[in-house]
Amino acid sequence: MNCEEYRQALTADPAWTDETGHAAACAGCQAYTRKLQSLNLEIARAMQIEVPALAMPDLPDIDAARVTTLPARRRSWAPLWFAVAATVVLAASISLRMSGLFVTYDTLAEEVLAHLDHEPASLRVTEVPVSDDRLQRALPANVAVFDRDRALVTYANPCIINGHRVPHLVIQGQYGPVTILLMPEERVAESIPLEGDSVRGMIVPVGNGSIAIIADRDEPLDPLRRNVIESITWTT
């Protein structure tokens, strides 16, 4: 079981039990599990609506002959629907905050570096390549073609950068995983350096778009940049 399969199963059923032992060996999925459990707790607290006990006032003695029966009133479901709506809004707000979808950044470089924090499971050292089907879903043929003979692609997922859907790939470098973001709609005039806490990289202009490359600080960037550029052919 890989990270994507684990997270899909856990999201579909938070009570699901991982019998494969994947999470025990994956720090990224352990962190994802904790976030999902925290979200479920917040939803559960929001659903705990205290309803006061029903108390009927004492009624005076009334002559039954003078009592007029009123038609039954339909029960109002408004309070319940308001509670459900509030819970849905809370869950959506927490999910969006976790994903960082509506967080704004001053520069493209800041957004690219921040994006790495949203998918820590992508940065795995592995020799298992993604399937052709997975790569095609992340990198449609009408966007670009990646030469798989030039690099081992171990992660592929469509992501959102600056409001655009971009292919997020990871290849294996000399010193660990290397993140590649293909951004055909982000034109840059020149290379933009990227500096993170433990990573570095660049956004390089390629054709009418650009490619972000982020790697370990020990990874040689120049040969990596040449290899990536030669591996990509824009088709958009």
Same domain, 93 and 167: no
Same domain, 229 and 131: yes
The kind and range of the H/E element at 217 are: none
Same domain, 140 and 86: no
Asked whether residue 7 is domain-assigned, the answer is yes
Same domain, 133 and 95: no
The kind and range of the H/E element at 88 are: helix 78-99
Residues 200/193, Cβ–Cβ less than 8 Å = yes
Asked whether residue 65 is domain-assigned, the answer is no
Same domain, 87 and 132: no
Asked whether residue 219 is domain-assigned, the answer is yes
| Dist. CA 136–CA 146, nearest whole Å | 10
Mean pLDDT of 179-192: 95
Same domain, 188 and 91: no
For all residues of the chain together, what is the average pLDDT?
A: 81
What pLDDT is recorded for position 7?
A: 73
Asked whether residue 108 is domain-assigned, the answer is no
pLDDT tens digit sequence for 130-165:
999 999 999 999 999 999 999 999 999 999 999 899
DSSP-assigned letter for residue 128: P
Asked whether residue 56 is domain-assigned, the answer is no
Same domain, 136 and 221: yes
Same domain, 93 and 171: no
Residues 156/171, Cβ–Cβ less than 8 Å = no
Mean pLDDT of 112-140: 90
What pLDDT is recorded for position 47?
A: 64
Residues 185/163, Cβ–Cβ less than 8 Å = no
Asked whether residue 105 is domain-assigned, the answer is no
Tokens of 52: 């006061």
DSSP-assigned letter for residue 236: -
Tokens 């009408």 locate to 142
Asked whether residue 19 is domain-assigned, the answer is yes
Structure-model confidence comparison of residues 61 and 218, the more confident one:
218
In sequence order, which residues have a C-beta less than 8 Å from that of residue 9 and are 6 or more positions away?
16, 18
Range of weakest confidence among 72-81, 102-111, 128-137 = 72-81
Same domain, 133 and 40: no
Structure-model confidence comparison of residues 9 and 156, the more confident one:
156
Residues of the domain holding 191: 126-234
Provide the β-strand partners of residue 159. Answer: 166
3-12 vs 27-47: helix crossing angle, rounded to 10: 10
How many structural domains are present in the chain? Answer: 2
| Dist. CA 34–CA 164, nearest whole Å | 29
Query: What's the start-to-end Cα distance of the chain, in Å?
Result: 33
CATH (domain of 174): 3.40.1000
The gap from C-alpha 34 to its chain's centroid, in whole angstroms, comes to: 15
Tell me the residue ranges of DSSP E strands in 86-150.
144-146
Asked whether residue 162 is domain-assigned, the answer is yes
